[in-house]
Amino acid sequence: MIRPRNEHTLAAACEVRGKGYWSGRAVRVRFCPASSGNGVRFVRTDLPGRPDCQAIAANVATASMRTNLQNDEIQFEMVEHVMAALYGLGIDNCSVEVDGEELPGLDGSAAPYVEALRSVGMIVQAADRRRYHIDRPFRVGDDSSWIDVTPVADGQPIFEYHLDYGDDSPIRPQHHRGLLSPHSFDRDLAPARTFVTAEQVARLRSAGVGRHVGPQDLLVFDETGLVDNRLRFENECARHKTLDLIGDLALTGVDLVGRFVSYRGGHRLNGELARMLTRLAGIDHDMPESIANVTTRDAGQVQVA
């Protein structure tokens, strides 16, 4: 078994400002260093007592088209891009201070977060980062959408996404596959932006949300194709869905070693897998730091594909 890497945190604090996609409210996000074993915690600096919420699968709250975290009555909305940026760069311990409920949408990608995080650098911490090694195949989902999880021989995590909304969708079928490393995340996934159809935009606005968001804030597709924007990658939509998958699975709180292939999966299915991985691995986020490696064999029975 490959020896776990050391945990990392930020060398200094950095911040990002923007508006929430759903609420339109201005918000500041401040990323601060954190001690070993802290993991990622979101903190509401706008509320008395600065209530916080650990970024783990058990704290995911039900939401549409995004991933929210909740601790009692406190919510943090649309955390997946922040989680993907931290996980993709290998930043394990971080306090994410937010002066509002919703994280900013920015340009629809994780690139602005990555730029801010890279600007301050990281420091190596003494503790080993926990790893979760997949050692047998299993699947979550059904015939219409699923995620296959399989072992890998070389210890390099692989993430793959197959997007197919059918012949009537303005977004063509596409896929993305790649090894995950800080370099590949920065280059291949972080710039990929959120996307919606014009029909979805109309429904959201009629519900009173997202009224300030336009084609320059994210990718919008109508029946003729992309509206008033240019793709950064030919398969940018599949890349962004891969980014979302990584951000949601980051809520396991461990390095995942395996191959993860999603077909038409979304935040709900990603969250289901994150909770399953947590259960299979027997992950206790308060367990001693000396327990650093877990495999599905240690965890017991799995659903075999």
For residue 20, what are its two tokens? 């929430």
| DSSP annotation of 233 | S
Burial readout 28-47 (b: 16 or more C-beta within 10 A, e: otherwise):
ebbbbbbebbbbbbbbbeee
All residues at 6 or more sequence positions from 120 whose CB lies less than 8 Å from its CB, including other chains: 10, 11, 12, 13, 14, 31
Reading the block at residue 120, the tokens are 């301050």
Catalytic residue among 133, 162, 240, 267: 267
C-alpha angle 295-297-298 in degrees, rounded to nearest 5: 70
Side chain identity, residue 44: R
Radius of gyration of the chain (CA): 19
Cα distances from 271 to residues 33, 67, 68, 247, 268, in angstroms, run 26, 8, 10, 10, 5
Is 162 annotated in the active site?
no
Judge residue 288's burial from the number of C-beta atoms within 10 Å of its C-beta, 0-12 exposed, 13-18 middle, 19 or more buried: exposed
What's the CA gap between 224 and 83, in Å, rounded?
A: 33
* Close Cβ partners of 73 (under 8 Å, ≥ 6 residues apart): none
**Residue 133 CB neighbours (<10 A):** 21
Active site residues: 267
